[in-house]
Amino acid sequence: MKALKKLCCTLLVSLLCLSFVTPALAASTPGFQAFAKTNLGAYEKFTDIDQSKWYGSSKQGVIQTACELNILNGMSPTKFDPEGTLRLNEAVKIACVIHALYIGQADPLQPGTGKHWADPYLAYAEANGILQKDEFTNYDRPATRSEMAHIFAKSLPEDGLKKINTVLSIEDVDCDLMLPIQYASDIFKLYRAGVLAGEPKTHAFRPTSTITRAEAAAIVARLALPATRENFDIVWMCGAYYDQPEFSLTNAEGKTLSTGQHSYQELADFVDGLTLIESSEFQDEGKQQGEVTHVTNSYEGLTVHYFIDPENPRDVFIFQLSTKSPAYVDQRGIRVGCLEEELLEKYSGPDASKLLCSYPQFGSFCYVTIYSFEVHSDNNTIRVSYPMSGAYGGYVQELSIYTNWL
């Protein structure tokens, strides 16, 4: 009986001890729990922040978040310099503080008293694989956006940068094979983790440009607080992102579908009620070793070719739509069965000279006339073609829309 009482007392004391664990101890827990807003009050002292701008407290509030997390500080107690450029040594410091907190280091690193304030951070970065020894020669200069991505990508381990987005291509990072972008793999890692998102709509990164301290604050917030990370997909190839009305099909129910990126649900709604005759798929190697499934679905009167990420089937990139059925019409009012003179009339006016015509030639495998209309970007061509029923004249026997990336 005495032994039982002694055991109960021991358990009670243990539970009481656990109930008095201090917040400071909890803050040192490894992982994202270590990121706490402990530097309260510092943000309010800055006098150079326009609160109405995107980074202000009345908008996204990213500077306030980064400061309260005590990861990105001001240039002085009253000056943050939101439009100033981020320097390499500042990027290294940010990465080191994030890394130290995540692995459970008791206190964030403090500036040293040696030759340069950043020396302790550079030493920590080299010791922990954030930087290679003497990787850069001048850490006081502005960092490019690609250099920033390279450094920040090493601030967290793989489980801290889990993939939440499908990103097959970034138009100004991997599409110009003649001008490869340094640190492309690190840029892709941060895009896929939702830490970087680039420009609205295009998601362009501008890798060789500098980055402002306000922009860096937004990235700091996403690194430290996963709930703030961006959700998006890039399943197009090399900038083929646009959705132009000249390049779409409308069915008998009034539903419209174009080439380009769409949610999978948009595609499903468009083909709803159609009988699937044949389906094939194969794995295709995307940019930066991203695997994507190439799917071809043939329905009655309609064939759709698209890419989809099997791990994240949220969006698709439709690169070809073709039909031999008069049930579908393009945005110019042309459908299968349309006579040649009607087609030419639809393209009269400014676009008349842009309508290309390919006549059958002796020895060619093609025995029909093909009309086509296309537009170009730096990285791709999007085209609608109209194979006719005969060598000359006749009617449209097929309507095909497709995107071809360079």
For the stretch 296-321, pLDDT in tens is 999 999 999 998 888 778 888 898 99
Q: What are the CB-based long-range contacts (under 8 Å, 24+) for 26-30?
A: 28/104, 28/105, 28/106, 29/104, 30/102, 30/103, 30/104
Domain ranges of the chain: 28-228, 245-405
For the stretch 59-101, pLDDT in tens is 999 999 999 999 999 999 999 999 999 999 999 999 999 999 9
In angstroms, rounded to a whole number, what is the distance separating the alpha carbons of residues 214 and 12?
A: 50
Confidence tier at 376 by pLDDT (50, 70, 90): confident
For the stretch 134-190, pLDDT in tens is 999 999 999 999 999 999 999 999 999 999 998 888 888 876 655 668 899 999 999
Residue 20 pLDDT more than 80? no
Confidence tier at 366 by pLDDT (50, 70, 90): low
In angstroms, rounded to a whole number, what is the distance separating the alpha carbons of residues 66 and 241?
A: 32
Confidence tier at 16 by pLDDT (50, 70, 90): very low
In angstroms, rounded to a whole number, what is the distance separating the alpha carbons of residues 61 and 92?
A: 23
In angstroms, rounded to a whole number, what is the distance separating the alpha carbons of residues 153 and 207?
A: 14
- The single residue listed with the structure tokens 């095909």 is 400
CA-angle at 197, arms to 196 and 199, nearest 5°: 130
DSSP state of 225: -
Does the model's pTM come out above 0.85? Answer: no
Counting residues of the chain whose pLDDT is more than 70, the rounded percentage is 81
List Cβ neighbours of 206 (8 Å cut-off, separation of 6 or more). 145, 172, 198, 199
Which whole number is the average pLDDT over 36-43?
A: 93
